[in-house]
Chain A
Amino acid sequence: MLQAKAGQFFSSGHTNNWAVLVCTSRFWFNYRHVANTLSVYRSVKRLGIPDSHIVLMLADDMACNHRNPKPATVFSHKNMELNVYGDDVEVDYRGYEVTVENFLRVLTGRLPPSTPRSKRLLSDDHSNILIYLTGHGGNGFLKFQDSEEISNVELADAFEQMWTKRRYNELLFIIDTCQGASMYERFYSPNLMALASSQVGEDSLSHQPDLAIGVHLMDRYTFYLLEFLEDIHPASTANMNDLFKVCPKSQCVSTPGHRTDLFLRDPGNVLITDFFGSVRKVEITMETINLTAPMVKVTSHIKCYREELTVLSSRTKG
């Protein structure tokens, strides 16, 4: 019976969730990219991923920009209904630290030893990672901060490095830029699912301007993504097929795309909370555990391996 339960537990294969959220544009008129990233950050936090498991990279500070008529806020909706900046935003890479090199180092884990834990992606082979990128992009590249670009080949290679180093179990890649679909064309590592806000040759459009602030607040795709995610709660059973339907062409003007051929499971079986939330699977056991008993030799435990694991999973790893 325990084995069946364990099987059910491991149906998704992951035990912890990470998120890497990147906004690559600076300057006041790119307010909407920061708002995009902060909206996803907010949803991800709300659904349970703690700050220690989120690497948030924002290339510019919109909340404290001199031009912001509402300082210390970043709004995602006009009429200022939703302040996504909030009180407990923890930005890990800020300003000029958001570079292609830092992004790739975070993904592959090749950071200098002095890098603090908050700036590292400490994922393992049971981690589900959500990667969200937004900014200005083109056919096959994403622009970082007006001075450099990351190409789709580099990104694909970085993911391959992650797979080889066993740094993820499954990875969901979402990109909201112009011609975003070009960024996932070159992926070749297993267990990658990708969503993009527009196809090659199309531009992703911004949603609404706020006249009091004077800029566009959000991009369309992320706006409707946020709307969709607001309905998700930790026990929700919505799956990836619902996510693929977010922002159809009538609302988005561009055609969102997705790629699932590298993903081993069927998207219909993948819960939204597998990536966006940190759903702890807790097994209640009626047995008492004697912690003062001496450690039993490993060999005798091989038979009870699976039972041990159910007990261990109640103290979640990571």
Chain B
Amino acid sequence: MGLLSDPNRRRALTKLLTRLNAPICVMCYLAGVAWFMGLAFEPFTLRTYMSENAMGSTMVEERFPAGERALATGREFAAHKKKVGGMPVDWLVKTMQSRGLEVFTQSFTRKLPFPDENKERYMVRGTNVYGILRAPRAPRTEALVLSAPCSEGNNNNQAVGLLLGLAQYFRSQIHWAKDIIFLVNEHDLIGMQAWLEGYHHTNTTGGDWSPLQGRGGSIQAALSLELSSDVITSLDLVLEGLNGQLPNLDLANLFYAFCQKIGVLCTIQGKLQRNDWDTTSGYSHAAQTMMLMVLKQASGRPWGDHGLFLRYHIEAASIRGINSFRQYKTDTTTIGRLLEGMYRKLNNLLERLHQSYFFYLMPSLSRFVSIGYYMPAFGLLAVILLLRALDLWVQLGASPPGTEDGVAGGVQVSNGPSSPGVLSILTPVVISHMTGVALYTLPILSQEMAVQHFPVSETEAVVLTAIAIYTAGLALPHNTHRLLQGEGTEEGWRVLKLVALLYLAVLLGCTALINFSLGFILALSLVPIAAFITPHTPKALSAAIMVLLSPGCTLLYCVFVFQELQETPVSLQDGWMLFLSVISQGILDHALYGSLVYPLLALLIYPCWLLLWNILFWK
């Protein structure tokens, strides 16, 4: 007889499973965490290499000469920006036209669901200006984009100046096989979203923008430039985009290759690469860089203007110039040459970048970990859920003493007093999800009411309503049972827990596939409580642990850890204010750009956690 169909062997297997379940779960958890931390250890990572044959090596001659003129243009731009008090549209149009580009503008308006306190905007109205450099001999089927944001104050003037300088230089070259679009977007991400939606004729987020008059073909790659000083000491590469999507690794490889060739210091996550991987400090440096990338990816927000391109399958990255206290300074001409080299190589592309990895983590700019290497860390955590589910299945299937129904296994929906009814399982599920829906919709809907009754601003109202609903959910189990008749049974909570475990496993699995960092961080906090919560564990201690490991508190810890990793640690009070602003940003990102982190947490993860909370207080 087979291993599983022989009742003796099956009983032996299930006894083994039940006995060893808890130790295996603990080991898997520790192994998962250890595997994840080991990813930053240099011998376990791979060196980056250019996969795309068409781009080849960095053999081009960069001859961009006009760094100083670009800075002068930047200063002119700054002066006009101050005069107009916003985006100097007419000056930009005139300047781009004088450089031989085909210039178009796009105006857009956007009303945010509630005021954004970080950037101090509510009703946003702006104009994007873009000029298209037509390829001299090629058909207009493909395009590359170089963009610089028009920011408040003195930020990013040099970026716009360099953009215009490069436009003038590129115009005199005849070897462009793709159109190059030079874009200056206003109100950073909101303007970029409007431009991209207009370019691709989609409207996913309900913005209002004028249609684009000029187009350049399908965009193959895009770079966003942020430069706020005349000289820089290093260039920082930002890869993380909306919903944790990353551009093709070849774009990062291209940037790194050119930085090496030209001799500019380049960083990722603001951290410079170190060579001493075998020391503890070297390893912790790499681990910190990787953790920063994980946290940024998990937040699901675009960390640069490039983040919105990725949704349209356009590989994009942001290059940020950083001026810190180092002796060796790089001037604008060199940055211009680096960009020229990168664009000449992107010009050689015949198809979109697809040869290298789309899912990776980078402990440093020259080392990466691909999905095949980091996924087992999550897999080990997911296995815990499956093991516990299997254990519960076995317990449910084993004949409880004194039952009338035989050893049939599984849930029998009968009206016997020892088997749970569908209603007693369905009720917590439905109520948890309705609370999730309330958490998702009520904060924005009820902001006016909250402002009338309490002395808070709209943003604070939204955030505090969210936290209030979140905390109100804690009181649910005591109220759910009022709806049910009679007492819950032993089998009842087991079935509910089985459902919750499988639900959580599927949820975390799907999340990890799309955004590994988010899935892994949620798994780290939710898997232990999902595995070990039963109504029989000591109530007070378990309740405290559950609250401490709930999604909301995980977010709070992540905020503190993020600040620590960026070497700007915050006090508790500042951390709390930061936490509130993170929640408001999350809700805004979802409304403005379609970020999925807030709906995921509110509609799916939080109800799952509430189910587990229900199980804890099962009577």
A-side residues, CB < 8 A to B, are 27-29, 64-69, 71, 209, 211-212, 214-216
Contacts and interface: CB of A to CB of B under 8 A. Distances in A.
Nearest to A64: B137
Interface stretch (B52-60, B238-246, B402-410): B52-60
B350 A28 contact: yes
Given A66-B137, A67-B177, A214-B344, 15 more contacts: A27-B350, A28-B54, A28-B350, A29-B53, A29-B54, A29-B348, A64-B137, A65-B177, A66-B135, A66-B138, A66-B175, A67-B347, A67-B348, A211-B61, A215-B56
B213 interface: no
14 contacts: A29-B348, A64-B137, A66-B136, A66-B137, A66-B175, A67-B176, A67-B177, A211-B59, A211-B61, A212-B61, A214-B59, A214-B60, A214-B348, A216-B59
A68 B175 contact: yes
B106 to A, nearest CB: 28
B142 to A, nearest CB: 10
Nearest to B60: A214
B174 A69 contact: yes
A67 B60 CA distance: 12
Contact of B175 (A64, A67, A216): A67
B54 A66 contact: no
Contacts of B54: 27-29
Contacts of A66: 135-138, 175-177
Given A28-B348, A29-B348, A69 B175 contact: yes
B348 A71 contact: no
A275 to B, nearest CB: 34
Interface in B176-213: 176-177
A178 to B, nearest CB: 14
- Please classify the interface of chain A as helix (H, G, I), strand (E, B), loop, or mixed, using the class held by over half of its residues: loop
Q: 7 smallest A-B Cβ distances: which pairs?
A: A211-B61, A66-B177, A66-B138, A209-B59, A69-B175, A214-B60, A67-B177
A29 B177 contact: no
Nearest to B53: A29
A82 B449 CA distance: 80
Nearest to A65: B177
B351 to A, nearest CB: 10
Contacts of B344: 214
- Please classify the interface of chain B as helix (H, G, I), strand (E, B), loop, or mixed, using the class held by over half of its residues: loop
Contacts of B137: 64, 66, 71
A29 B50 CA distance: 14
Contacts of A212: 61
B573 interface: no
A266 B348 CA distance: 47
B280 interface: no
Contacts of B56: 29, 215
Most buried by B among A27, A28, A65: A28
Contacts of A214: 59-61, 175, 344-345, 348
Interface string B320-356: 0000000000000000000000001101101000000
Interface in B488-545: none
Contacts of B177: 65-67
Nearest to A209: B59
Most buried by B among A66, A69, A209, A215: A66
A209 B136 CA distance: 24
Contacts of A28: 54, 348, 350
A29 B355 CA distance: 16
A69 B60 CA distance: 12
Contacts of B173: 69
A215 to B, nearest CB: 7
A39 B312 CA distance: 44
Contacts of B57: 209
Nearest to A214: B60
Most buried by B among A28, A209, A214: A214
A93 B279 CA distance: 61
A21 B41 CA distance: 53
A27 to B, nearest CB: 6
B174 A71 contact: yes
B60 A211 contact: yes
Nearest to B61: A211
B36 to A, nearest CB: 39
Interface string B288-306: 0000000000000000000
B133 to A, nearest CB: 13
B348 to A, nearest CB: 6
Interface string B121-151: 0000000000000011110000000000000
A215 B61 CA distance: 11
Nearest to B347: A67
A67 B137 CA distance: 9
A28 B54 CA distance: 8
A45 B350 CA distance: 33
Contacts of B61: 211-212, 214
